[in-house]
Amino acid sequence: MDIVYIRDLKVDTVIGIFDWERRIRQTVSLDIEMGADIRKAAASDHIDDALDYKAVGKRLISFIQASEFQLVETLSEKVAEIVLHEFNVRWLKLRLSKPGALRGAKDVGIIIERGEKH
């Protein structure tokens, strides 16, 4: 399986469990690896045969900006569902981090894999 990826997609959103976090927007960062077979797109050289990473990015930015989840776990699951179902991706690996969420650390977050990796 080939992998199409998006690295360090930064989006501002409401995320967190504390009262002060519910009143501000914080930046989350996403790295997404999506399992895809690129051979058809490579042969045709046409975007209709490719996993359109720009369309994926725009959809996720729109969704995340409008969301107000408390946990990065919930946001990660919802992002994975969108990519798997709306873009016909069979497998993905998602790293979602919250820069500056823990004093002394560059960022904190989670990494999930969903779907079937072949």
The pair of structure tokens assigned to 8 is 């360090």
Percent over 90 (pLDDT), the chain: 92
The region, left, alpha or beta by phi > 0 then psi within -120 to 50, assigned to residue 65 is: alpha
Selecting among 40, 54, 98, 117, the annotated active-site residue is 98
Contact 36/51 with Cβ under 8 angstroms?
yes
What backbone torsions phi and psi does residue 41 show, to the nearest 5 degrees?
-65, -40
Q: What integer is the mean pLDDT of 7-23? A: 96
pTM above 0.85, yes or no: yes
Q: Which of 73, 32, 76 is nearest to 54 (CA)?
A: 32
**Residue bearing the bigger pLDDT, 118 or 111:** 111
10 catalytic per annotation: no
What are the residue boundaries of the structural domains of the chain, listed by start? 2-115
Q: If one looks up domain 2-115 in CATH, what number appears? A: 3.30.1130.10
Task: Give 28-63 pLDDT, tens digit per residue.
Answer: 999 999 999 999 999 999 999 999 999 999 999 999
